Amino acid sequence: MQHPIETETGFVGHFHDGLGWYVYPTHRFKTITLQAFWINDMDPATVSFGALLPHILKRGTVSWPNFTAIQQQLESLYGATFRADVGKIGDKQLISVSLEIIHGQYLPGKPDTLKAGLEFLNEVINRPRLDSDGAFEREFVTQEKELLTRQIHALINDKGQYALYRLIETMAKGRPFGLRKLGRVEDLAKVTPDALYGYYQTVHRTSPFVLIAVGDLDPDVIASYVTANWNGSRRELVKTQPYTPLNRDYEVIERQPVQQGKINLGYSTRRTFASTEYPALMMYAGILGGFAHSKLFVNVREKASLAYYAYARLDAALALMVIGAGIEFDDYPAVKRIIGEQLEAMRRGDIDDQEMHFTVQAFHNDILSEEDVPTQLIGRQMEKLVLGGGLSGEAMIQALESVTVPEIQRVAEDITLDTIYFLTTDHSATGGDEAQGE
């Protein structure tokens, strides 16, 4: 059966009634990459279960009851690489398992490694190891909870990441997109083997599911696998919605014994990845703070010497932009002022030809580099699925090349400051709401 290729993405496939598959047929790679996703709404009651589940699935199955047995099976699959992880796009939590295996045509005897890879994933997804009471193994759950707790603490100790998370949480004001993909330590502690297995059963039966493959593949094989192994009634995927600003110029100052101040500013952009004006917004963010030639880097770090780093970054799912910088504590007022000046320059259209050229070229290189990494191609397709559209690959490059300064000014007019979050240890700082550090 012939499947039309989406010219914008290079993928074939479909997603309907909460179930789907996509294939990126290419001769570029000597490997086959398979990644299966369950897509769930972020929910305080279940986010810790979702964070823990993939780590339990990779611990053992009916056929391969422990880590050693799984590793031996991977070795028999010509040294295949297996991963299980949790991700996040907007207000969605993504539970995934993936396998990368050498294509059979490059091996003696040309074995069907696609079939072997699908059988491996099928075992992991559908036949997890259980104890005699029909729940996940208590030892596995206890060990993985401890490891995930350490991972959460490590993120808190990474003050740059911590400050970014705190900004998003403040902007969310309790809405689901403010939850961390790894959940919270206090919720994780309450997860039991029985409850986690019950969660797995619900997800397995009802959550939206998609399998994405990259390599020199016959799409019909993937389509047949999904049809044969995944059926029944599943929840329809509800596309991620952009966040609605609830703050305006809200300032939060948090004090901890840190060595460097972290300033993060969150802005509403009113445009997601699916917007026709998203390429103009990408150019806006790139010129403002996406690269070493950008205004924030040049003016805050190079000219004023007020920052160790400075950047602007878009969240394509939530229609927001974050500006971040590492600074000396006493430089907080000056850095805020200079950042504001750069945003005003963007509104005025103070953008020269060199900034436009360098930014297009930088995006061009980034986008082309994605074409060489199967997991990035898969991530791009997932983003398009969850957000309901958007350009990618050569189509995005062409759109960026056609963006004009007036179009950048148009998106600049809609960018409004939501929240400023400053992590500091300088008690002379004033203004803003005080927050208690973790």
pLDDT tens for each residue of 334-356: 999 999 999 999 999 999 999 99
Would you tell me how many other CB atoms lie within 10 Å of the CB of residue 164? 20
Least confident range of 4-18, 180-194, 394-408: 4-18
Q: Which residues contact 80 (CB under 8 A, 6 or more apart)?
A: 74, 99, 100, 101, 102, 117, 120
Beta strands 320-327 and 309-315 are antiparallel
Position of tokens 């060595």?
259
What mean pLDDT do residues 25-44 have? 97
- Judged against a pLDDT cut of 60, whether residue 438 lies above it is answered with no
pLDDT in tens, 109-160: 999 999 999 999 999 999 999 999 999 999 999 999 999 999 999 988 999 9
Per-residue tokens: 186: 């206090």
DSSP state of 329: G
By three-state DSSP, how is residue 310 classified?
A: strand
DSSP H stretches of helix in 306-373: 332-348, 353-370
Nearest-5° Cα angle at 246, 91 to 166: 60
Q: 29 near 9, Cβ under 8 Å? A: no
Q: 90 near 386, Cβ under 8 Å? A: yes
Would you tell me how many other CB atoms lie within 10 Å of the CB of residue 393? 18
Would you tell me how many other CB atoms lie within 10 Å of the CB of residue 259? 8
Q: Which residues contact 341 (CB under 8 A, 6 or more apart)?
A: 299
Q: What's the pLDDT score for residue 231? A: 74
The length of the chain, given as a count of residues: 438
Q: What is the pTM of this model?
A: 0.93
What mean pLDDT do residues 280-306 have? 95
With cut-offs at 50, 70 and 90, classify the pLDDT of residue 429: very low
- Judged against a pLDDT cut of 70, whether residue 435 lies above it is answered with no
Q: What's the pLDDT score for residue 1? A: 55
Per-residue tokens: 424: 């500091």
Element (H, E) at 81: strand 81-89
Per-residue tokens: 34: 């398979």
- Judged against a pLDDT cut of 90, whether residue 177 lies above it is answered with yes
Q: What's the pLDDT score for residue 6? A: 58
How much of the chain is in helix, strand and coil states, percent to nearest 5? 45, 20, 35
In angstroms, the CA 178 to CA 169 distance is 4
pLDDT in tens, 53-73: 999 999 999 999 999 999 999
pLDDT in tens, 352-376: 999 999 999 999 999 999 889 999 9
Per-residue tokens: 344: 């005003």
Per-residue tokens: 23: 């294939």
Position of tokens 């045509």?
105
In angstroms, the CA 243 to CA 175 distance is 9
DSSP state of 239: P
Nearest to 194 by CA among 141, 153, 244, 269: 141
- Judged against a pLDDT cut of 50, whether residue 430 lies above it is answered with no
Q: 349 near 415, Cβ under 8 Å? A: no
- Judged against a pLDDT cut of 70, whether residue 8 lies above it is answered with no
Per-residue tokens: 26: 């290419």
By three-state DSSP, how is residue 259 classified?
A: coil
Residues of the chain with CATH 3.30.830.10: 12-229, 250-436
Q: What's the pLDDT score for residue 300? A: 95
Q: What's the pLDDT score for residue 434? A: 61
What mean pLDDT do residues 365-393 have? 93
pLDDT in tens, 214-237: 999 999 999 999 999 887 678 999
* Burial of 334 from C-beta contacts in 10 A (0-12 / 13-18 / 19+): middle
Per-residue tokens: 111: 């074995």
Superfamily (CATH) of domain 12-229 = Metalloenzyme, LuxS/M16 peptidase-like (3.30.830.10)
By three-state DSSP, how is residue 234 classified?
A: coil
- Judged against a pLDDT cut of 80, whether residue 437 lies above it is answered with no
Per-residue tokens: 157: 């100790």
Q: Which residues contact 294 (CB under 8 A, 6 or more apart)?
A: 286, 287, 288, 311, 312, 355, 359
- Percentage of the chain modeled with pLDDT above 90: 89
DSSP state of 237: P
DSSP H stretches of helix in 127-246: 138-157, 159-172, 185-188, 193-206, 219-229
Selecting from 3.30.450.40, 3.30.830.10, 2.60.40.1180, 3.40.50.150, what CATH number does the domain 250-436 have? 3.30.830.10
